[in-house]
Structure 1
Amino acid sequence: MFDEAERAMRAVQEMGEVDRACLMHPPSDTDRVLYEVLTDAVALYLVRCRGERRLDKKTVKAYSCDMEQFLIWLDEGTKPFNRLSMRDYMVYLNGLHAASTVRRKLASLRAWSTWMRREGFMSASPFDDLDINIRQPLLLPRTIGPRELRRMLEPDLTGAPATTSTGALLGLRDQAVLELLIATGIRVSELCALNMDSIDLSARQVRIFGKGSKERIVMLGSIHTVVALSDYLSVRKPLAGVNINSKACRALFLNRSKERISDQAVRKIILKRAREVGVEAHITPHMFRHTFATTLLEQDVDIRYIQQLLGHSSVKTTERYTHVSSAKLRTIMEQHNPRDVLSGENTLQPPTEMIA
């Protein structure tokens, strides 16, 4: 694929300016050529993303899906690759996806288009001066209520008689997964990627590799989390079986097949536990992360520390949690309301005439 894409790139670079302009405003009889050139450009771009830019596999896969969707749309209507067609494509996407998804897909295409211009595939980008700032409603992060969380975390295997049954071993694994989610705010993909050497129980810390392979250290501040991990690690060897020292079993959390646990498996663990303890709300792995961040914020932890713990590259991403804590805002207004503070009244005590 790389050689074919390289040849396509050289062929385009050897075009004259008139021929190359057809990429922006092609006549109808060159639509197939346009599609083939763009397809080759996508192939080369993805190779560069994997190789030179060393992007995460999931990121490259998302780019690939975004571009494939665009090329199919472009080919079905035999449309030119210009600003007008991009506006039409924005309308098309808006009819299929949420605003956040549309913005991500257009950002992928803009990055690809910018790269093509830089590499000589085209003299101008259809995204030049094109406004893709799509407004989206402010969706507050959903958290888990204290009562539901306590029921979810109530250990049903800790302290039980030692057993090597697969069900009991997986129960200890599930408990460790839930404890780690709420104690660290870890992303589900990060949790699944943890290896045995990621956990240091003596130092009570976990080493996490987040988006862009960025490393961060998160302390295990809760004894419940340490105990849950210790209990799981004590039975992990039987769960791993004879392959305990194999490369495939470097993973911290394993499934029944002695392989690394998947994102979907973690979601099933959460749903299973919620069903067992009678929690009706649909709980997701990311809700543990939201609850972790919101709880820290409600305890007046500096948002810069929360940013570091969550692995956010920008504090702006963390700032969305400042919109969540209505309970904290209520407490602040009850205890520090300027109207009552300035008049010397106790805000938590109703006026005597209201009591009567």
Structure 2
Amino acid sequence: MARHGAELLPENLPGDLRRAFESYLASLRFERGLSMNSIDAYARDLARYGTWLTEDGVSRLGDVDRQKVENFALHLLDSGLAPRSRARALVAVRRFHTFALGENLAPTDPASEVSPPQEGLRLPKALALDEIESMIATTDGDEPVQIRAAALLELLYATGARISEAVGVDLDDLDLDSGLVRLYGKGGKERIVPFGSHAARALGAWVSRVRPSMAAKARSSAPAGALFLNARGTRLSRVSAWQIVKDAGEAAKIDAEVSPHTFRHSFATHLLEGGADIRVVQELLGHASVTTTQIYTKVSEETLREVYATSHPRAR
């Protein structure tokens, strides 16, 4: 059987993604007649894309939307790849999605309007502390959804957790007395992250006052251990958690676009601005390399420049 690059794809790639990737690589070999070196280059780029999608919880090609492709493009900026390699990887992703749409492997082409992000736009946007507090303040109240929203927002800002990590927390992962939570990051990597008194109070209110009644609505077959539950008593989905954050941003009238990752950016930026060591922040965020964390030092540098420009008598 002729080789066409599929052996370079990761072994744990979900079946739907694997079949689509293999079909595309086969078309490069047998329809376009590309050399094996070119096909291997495409395969390596698709392997990187597939790994990223898998770690982000995607198992079906139809679940990939434009936002996910844009997030992958931003991920490439922090991957350590050379600019030419980053551009080539995104081209491979765009051509793959064009192929998938043409072959009816996916209902849309989510990459058609995604361009490589500019180097100057790579700094993540962090909210100011008063904006974070304004969002949390919108959850004040005794309604179950308000108490859940407060617990979720406090956990995101207190720990810098990814949204998938936050909704993946089980009760057994949470220690309210010690102020510690176990998070499972990309590739199932485990880390322990502390949280403060504000988060402890919000989480305690959710766990003791609201969660038991929601859990009682679950069917016997539903997982009982999830920290955050929906109205049916099952684990809160990433989409629902994302909407909670978005709703809080709109209610607080935040001008900037707000997402769960905005809380993660704010967590890291505020820690570094407060004097935290970058290696500590790296561990808290669950970054494999400190190079990824260093993006936040540039955010702090921008803040320093702004303060200098407005404060020093001879800055202008």
The question of whether the paired residues in 1 share the 8 Å contact of 2:154 and 2:202 is answered with yes
1:273 maps to 248
- Pair 1:231 & 2:205 matched: yes
Aligned sequence identity (%): 32
Distance apart, 1:294 and its partner CA: 0.5
Matches within 5 A, 1:99-110: 100=76, 103=86, 106=89
- Pair 1:214 & 2:189 matched: yes
Counterpart amino acid of residue 233 in structure 1: V
- Ranges in structure 1 where 5+ consecutive residues have no aligned partner: 1-11, 13-22, 24-33, 51-58, 91-95, 110-133, 161-167, 336-346, 352-356
The question of whether the paired residues in 1 share the 8 Å contact of 2:138 and 2:251 is answered with no
Please give the per-residue CA displacement for 1:182-230, whole angstroms capped at 9, x wherever unaligned: 1100011111110011111011111111122222111112x21111101
**Of 294, 316, 327, which residue of structure 1 is paired with 2:269?**
294
The question of whether the paired residues in 2 share the 8 Å contact of 1:185 and 1:290 is answered with yes
Q: TM-score, normalization: structure 1?
A: 0.60
1:342 maps to none
1:145 maps to 128
- Pair 1:176 & 2:151 matched: yes
Please give the per-residue CA displacement for 1:123-158, whole angstroms capped at 9, x wherever unaligned: xxxxxxxxxxx9962511111133322210115434
- Pair 1:83 & 2:66 matched: no
CA distance in 1, matches of 2:17, 2:34: 21
The question of whether the paired residues in 2 share the 8 Å contact of 1:66 and 1:105 is answered with no
- Ranges in structure 2 where 5+ consecutive residues have no aligned partner: 45-68, 78-84, 93-115
Counterpart amino acid of residue 204 in structure 2: S
Distance apart, 1:106 and its partner CA: 4.7
Number of corresponding residues: 254
Pair 1:328–1:173, CA change in 2 (3 A): same
2:236 maps to 261
- Pair 1:189 & 2:164 matched: yes
Pair 1:329–1:302, CA change in 2 (3 A): farther
1:327 maps to 303
The question of whether the paired residues in 1 share the 8 Å contact of 2:25 and 2:43 is answered with no
Distance apart, 1:249 and its partner CA: 2.1
Q: TM-score, normalization: structure 2?
A: 0.67
Please say which of residues 134-143 and 195-204 is displaced more in the overlay. Answer: 134-143
Distance apart, 1:246 and its partner CA: 6.0
Pair 1:145–1:135, CA change in 2 (3 A): closer
- Pair 1:311 & 2:286 matched: yes
Please give the per-residue CA displacement for 1:289-327, whole angstroms capped at 9, x wherever unaligned: 010001111111110110111111111111111111222
Counterpart amino acid of residue 154 in structure 1: A
Larger Rg: 1
2:140 maps to 157
Please give the per-residue CA displacement for 1:19-77, whole angstroms capped at 9, x wherever unaligned: xxxx4xxxxxxxxxx66xx66x58xx65xx23xxxxxxxx6579637724733652683
Q: Secondary structure at the match of 2:33?
A: coil
CA distance in 2, matches of 1:181, 1:81: 47
The question of whether the paired residues in 1 share the 8 Å contact of 2:147 and 2:202 is answered with yes
